[in-house]
Amino acid sequence: MRGNYFRTGMLLVLAGTFAAGASVRAWDASSAVADAAMARDRAAVRTLLQQGGDVSAAQGDGMTALHWAATYGDAELAEMLLYAGANTRATTRLGAFTPLHVASRAGAAAVVTRLVGAAADVDARTSTGATPLMLAASSGSVEAVTALLDAKADPNATEAAHEQTALMFAAARDRHEVVRVLLARGATANAVSKFVDLAALSADGEGTGRPAQTPAAAAAAVQDIPGVTRGFRYNELIGAQGGLSALHFAARQGGLSSVEALVEGGADVNQASPGDRTSPLVIATINGHFDIAMYLLDRGADPNLANQAGVTPLYGAINVQWAPIAAYPQPRAHLQQRHTYVDLVQALLAKGADPDARLSRKVWFSSYNFDQSNVDEIGATPFWRAAYASDVAMMKVLVAAGADPNIPTLATPIRRGPPVDGDDGGPDVASAPPIPPGGPSVTPLQAAAGVGYGKGFAGNSHHVAPGGMMAAVQYLIEELGADVNAADHEGNTAIHHAAARGDNEMILYLVSKGADPTVVNRRGQTTVDMANGPVQRVEPFPATMALLEKLGAKNNHRCVSC
């Protein structure tokens, strides 16, 4: 809080002057007591007070001597200042922190106790509405929290910015001992933070009064959203946010001890946020906290509660395991859990999780605000997500549990018109009628073959199982009978996607299983076109082009990146 003025040699000069017994008047500094307290020089403070120094005079930023005693947790200095009549309600210029706020934030229980005893306002608010109890809860000091509660601090007060309570502050920092104290002293276990609807148009209308929609209806509705590209815009994807309970905070941050304390204290394990309907089980899973997810599941969490996008814990576990590689922070907690994602998936299935639950919109957190996959996963199932990651072992687990391996994603509007961002954006030249929004689109086989590589920059971020894409494609075709010539709503087949990656081995395999290398998509792109730099910054694969031409595919010489 303090500026740099007294952080350099001036501190030493000041301390030396006090040691020499100089008077306040000789120093001629109105904030001398505060300056001495900042220098942690009790003797100088005592001398100044004896000489009539102003015990409550503030430095330029509003810090008084009592603020500095609170900062350092110096109970002896605080007692001296309080005896001299220090103002317990003085506030800093930035943040409006009282000494009690500062002591609480530091978890300085001895100073908190003395300030409370001096009638400091236990419910004072900072400029953002935070109370001392919230800050003490965040610090983890049971003694400070208890002292404030004994002084009748409100355990359910909410701060102004996000309407979070002291219990939420404690849960977010995994201060489980404080969580237990707050619950025992009247904190409401299931209170929720503020939530805001960010969407101009929400697919399911939660919090807006609009009716719920099926995944297919949601996919069809995106064509009516102004400015939508391929059916999604990030405000629509995020929709409403907030509305988290203390259990949500603890589950999100990986605080297992706090999760246990909250559940034992009466927190609802199935409380869905009013923002995007995320349950504690979902929020734990998508953040990779599999141990917490297992605990919640054992305590009665519903494995089929889905968030606003249709993400269930089953989908979330697979998605976080194979999250895209990106410059943005991605959850990594799953790598330090006792339980693996396979353990969690099997436990969810054993509890009745639906292996065919489908997404109702693109998952915003799968790639944050810079999507490189160019794949809209509306309608995807957990099996589809496993196929997209080429996770053969997981696909087998899901099939054994009854998953349908043929469910595709759902079609969204195809972009038309002039080139956008390097995409050729050509018109639909197919003779067959287009698949309407909400109709079938990308199959699991196309996902495993590398959907998106020829239309975006998925190669920069796509994360697949160690066995690679070929193993997944072979499993889908040879053991599950996938149609090698099935096309998505843009007319692309598995061989288009293999060509876009320059995967000659897969092309030859697909052809050996009956795939047609001469197929043309709805934009008139042949498989050679997909291998020939179809978008900017994707270089052609000459060997792949030559192979496909040999197999009969036409080269339209449409290299966009050349």
Render pLDDT for 498-523 as a digit per residue (tens, 0 to 9).
999 999 999 999 999 999 999 999 98
pLDDT of residue 27: 39
Specify the pLDDT at position 414: 60
Residues 149 and 210 in one domain: no
Q: Are residues 184 and 202 in the same domain?
A: no
Together in a domain, 158 and 69? yes
- The residue segments making up the domain with residue 436 are 381-562
Say if residue 166 is in the same domain as residue 243: no
| Model pLDDT, residue 14 | 33
Nearest to 500 by CA among 492, 508, 490: 492
Tell whether 1 is covered by a domain.
Answer: no
> Is 366 inside a domain boundary?
no
* pLDDT reading at 153 higher than 70: yes
pLDDT at 535 over 70: yes
- b/e code 214-232 from CB counts within 10 Å (16+ = b): bbbbbbbbbeebeebbbbb
Pair 345, 395 in one domain: no
With beta carbons less than 8 A apart as the criterion, state whether 368 and 238 touch: no
Same domain, 122 and 207: no
- In this prediction, residue 468 carries a pLDDT of 95
Say what the pLDDT of residue 364 is: 80
**DSSP for residue 413:** P
| pLDDT tier for residue 20 given thresholds of 50, 70 and 90 | very low
Q: State the sign of the Cα–Cα–Cα–Cα dihedral 487, 488, 491, 496.
A: negative
Answer whether residue 24 shows pLDDT above 50.
Answer: no
Residue 366 has pLDDT above 90, yes or no: no
Locate 220 and state its tokens. Answer: 């069809």
Query: Looking at 188, 210, 238, which one is the last position of a domain?
Result: 188
Asked whether the predicted pLDDT for residue 162 surpasses 70, the reply is yes
Q: Please tell me whether residue 256 adopts helix, strand or coil conformation.
A: helix
Q: What is the DSSP letter of 436?
A: P
Among 18-27, 178-187, 259-268, the range scoring the smallest mean pLDDT is 18-27
Residue 7: the pLDDT is 32
Report if residue 369 sits inside a domain.
no
Report how far residue 387's alpha carbon sits from residue 393's, in angstroms, rounded to the nearest whole number: 10
Q: Would you place residue 227 in the very low, low, confident or very high pLDDT band (cuts 50, 70, 90)?
A: very low
Long-range CB contact pairs, 86-90, < 8 A, 24+: 86/55, 86/56, 87/55, 87/56, 88/115, 88/118, 88/119, 88/120, 88/121, 89/120, 89/121, 89/124, 90/56, 90/58, 90/62, 90/64, 90/66
- Say if residue 88 is in the same domain as residue 124: yes
Verify that 253 and 398 share a domain, yes or no. no
Q: Indicate whether 373 belongs to any domain.
A: no
Compute the average pLDDT of residues 533-540. 88
CATH number, domain with residue 520: 1.25.40.20
- Residue 335 buriedness (CB in 10 A; 0-12 / 13-18 / 19+): exposed
Q: Does residue 320 have a pLDDT over 80?
A: yes
Report d(CA 549, CA 562) in Å as an integer.
19
Q: By the 8 A CB rule, do 271 and 190 touch?
A: yes
272 and 390 in a single domain? The answer is: no
pLDDT above 50 (res 21): no
Q: Which amino acid would we find at residue 109? A: A
Q: Is 557 exposed, middle or buried (0-12, 13-18, 19+ CB in 10 A)?
A: exposed
Helices (H), 152-245: 166-172, 176-184, 215-221, 234-238
Which of 308, 328, 360 represents a domain boundary (last residue)?
A: 360
Structure tokens at 373: 């996959």
Tell whether 60 is covered by a domain.
Answer: yes
Q: Token digits for 40?
A: 């942690």
For residues 496 and 504, give the distance between their C-alpha atoms in angstroms, rounded to a whole number.
Answer: 12
Residue 365 lies in a domain: no
Per the domain annotation, does 529 fall within a domain?
A: yes
CB-based contact 231:217 (threshold 8 Å)? no
Helix (H, G, I), strand (E, B) or coil at 420: strand
CA angle 211, 214, 216 (to 5 degrees): 130
d(C-alpha 411, C-alpha 396), whole Å: 26
The answer to whether position 367 is within a domain reads no
Say yes or no: 403 and 518 in one domain: yes
Q: Do 277 and 325 fall into the same domain? A: yes
Looking at residue 434, the DSSP 8-state letter turns out to be: P
**pLDDT of res. 230:** 42
Which of 134, 158, 188 is the C-terminal boundary of a domain? 188
DSSP H/E element including 195: strand 195-197
In 3D, which of 380, 435, 384 has the Cα closest to residue 412? 435
Work out the percent of the chain whose per-residue pLDDT is above 70.
Answer: 84
Q: Please check whether residues 256 and 222 belong to one and the same domain.
A: yes
Q: What is the mean pLDDT of the chain?
A: 87
Total count of domains within the chain: 3
Stretch 451-467: mean pLDDT: 82
Nearest CA to 110 out of 149, 78, 84, 88 is that of 78
